[in-house]
Amino acid sequence: MLTSGIARAHLCHRPTPLEPMPALSRHLGGPQLWIKRDDCTGLAMGGNKVRQLEFYCGDALARGADTLITTGAVQSNHVRLTIAAARKLAMDCEVQLEQRVAGQGAAYYDSGNVLLDKLMGARIHAFPSGEDEAGAELAMRGIADAVRARGGKPYIVSLAQDHEPIGALGYVDAAEELVEQARHLGLTIDAIVLCSGSGSTHAGMLSGLRALGWTVPVHGLCARRDRVTQHARVLERCQRVARLLGRPGLVGADDVLTDDRLLAPGYGLLSAPVVAAMGALARLEAILLDPTYTAKAMAVLIRLVGDGAFAPDSNVVFLHTGGVPALFAYPDVVEEIHRQALAGPGEDRAPR
């Protein structure tokens, strides 16, 4: 393994399934679409952060830490899974929830990931802004100081740009896993599509593939930042990952593909094509997408297929990064999807 010898905790169910999506493929009339089910990583309803947390927690345990601290949006999957990892490893956990999405109803603050955060007993702190990465980091350091004052040994799990992206190594592993699955199936993968948020999943997958000699394009679909900003973020993370692996120069600027065409109206907010993509996957494949990440990524994939971005005989793999608990925080969106489904065949269509 490319990550052999690097400290890690074992939290993830692996390998996660690699499955065809025949109904969606037929519906769109384009390439053969596959899905890598990292919503099935096992820990506390799963998701991509489980792979990442194996390496953060391995480092934390090696340093003798007894308390994990992290930050994220109110409906953060990363926060939920950091708490779960802490509980699995008999550690304490304190988390900070940032106000990134305005104008939400009560369910956004009480249901979904927040409900699970509370169920697992984390100490929860509030941070008033969602776009102040430096301020959120400073506030976490204050939480860590309070933990030390009580005699604890804190470890901050940070996804900020100026921290070493240890978690991205989880997707270096996932790249190896995907390559092995493709070989076992005799499958030639022509493109990979994933959501690009913090950048660690994107950078890890891309770096792992390049380290294995695979030149397949990895399309990163933006969920929080514009494509230019995200390109720089992912490229910098790839450079750091390459150094962690002792393999500098794995990824060049042209390797990093970012697409922000459905980023609007903003993080955690949905447009009509995103809502339609959620409904289409649920009805056609019984696959549940989350509103913030995977639904936006799928909506862009559907648009790429409609634009002829992939050859008809190609195989395109979509990485499902989880986040399904957040669905319960958007009941109005689910009601709208249901209304559209009942409106008749004319509206039961994915956006093209």
DSSP secondary structure letters along 150-204? TT--EEEE--STTS--GGGHHHHHHHHHHHHHHHHHT----EEEEEESSSHHHHH
Asked if residue 171 lies in contact with residue 201, where contact means CB atoms within 8 angstroms, the answer is yes
What Cα–Cα distance (Å) separates residue 336 from each residue in 118, 276, 290, 343?
28, 10, 15, 11
pLDDT at 59: 98
Which residues constitute the domain of residue 318? 18-46+165-347
The number of folded domains in the chain is 2
Using the 8-state DSSP alphabet, how is residue 16 labeled?
P
Catalytic entry in 25, 76, 111, 158: 76
- DSSP assignment of 2-13: TTTTS-------
- Cα separation, 13 vs 52, in Å, equals 13
* 180 located within any domain: yes
- CATH number of domain containing 128: 3.40.50.1100
* Whether residue 76 lies in the annotated active site: yes
Cα dihedral 45/47/51/53 (nearest 10): -70
Measured distance CA(237)–CA(92) in Å, rounded? 28
Nearest partner of 84 among 13, 188, 151, 181, judged by Cα: 13
Is residue 211 located within the same domain as residue 244? yes
Q: Are both 101 and 24 inside the same structural domain? A: no
The tokens for 331 are 């009941």
Q: What is the pLDDT of residue 351?
A: 44
- H or E element at residue 298: helix 294-306
Tokens 């459905």 belong to: 262
Residue 115 lies in a domain: yes
User: Residue 248 is which amino acid?
Assistant: P
DSSP designation for 17:
P
User: Are 328 and 223 members of one domain?
Assistant: yes
Residue type, 262: L
Of 100, 131, 157, the residue at which a domain comes to its end is 157
| Domain stop point among 125, 157, 189 | 157
Two tokens, residue 6: 């690097």
Domain boundary, last residue among 134, 157, 180: 157
Q: Identify the residue whose tokens are 């390559």.
A: 179
pLDDT at 216: 98
Together in a domain, 125 and 219: no
Neighbours of 269 (CB within 10 A): 17
pLDDT of residue 347: 38
Instruction: Give average pLDDT by consecutive 10-residue segment, the chain, 352 residues.
Output: 95 98 96 98 98 98 98 97 98 97 93 98 94 93 98 95 93 98 98 97 98 98 97 97 95 98 95 96 97 97 97 97 96 92 60 44
* The predicted structure's pLDDT at residue 350: 45
**Residue 58 covered by a domain:** no
Asked whether residue 310 is assigned to any structural domain, the reply reads: yes
Same domain for 147 and 169: no
C-alpha–C-alpha distance, residues 239 and 237, integer Å:
5
The H or E element containing residue 218 is: strand 218-222
Q: What is the DSSP string of 301-320?
A: HHHHHHTT-S-TT-EEEEEE
Environment class of residue 213 by beta-carbon count within 10 Å: exposed (0-12), middle (13-18) or buried (19+)?
exposed
Task: List Cα–Cα distances, 133 to 83, 110, 120, 240, 293, in angstroms.
Answer: 20, 24, 26, 19, 19
> Which distant-in-sequence residues (6+ apart) come within 8 Å of 307 by Cβ?
none
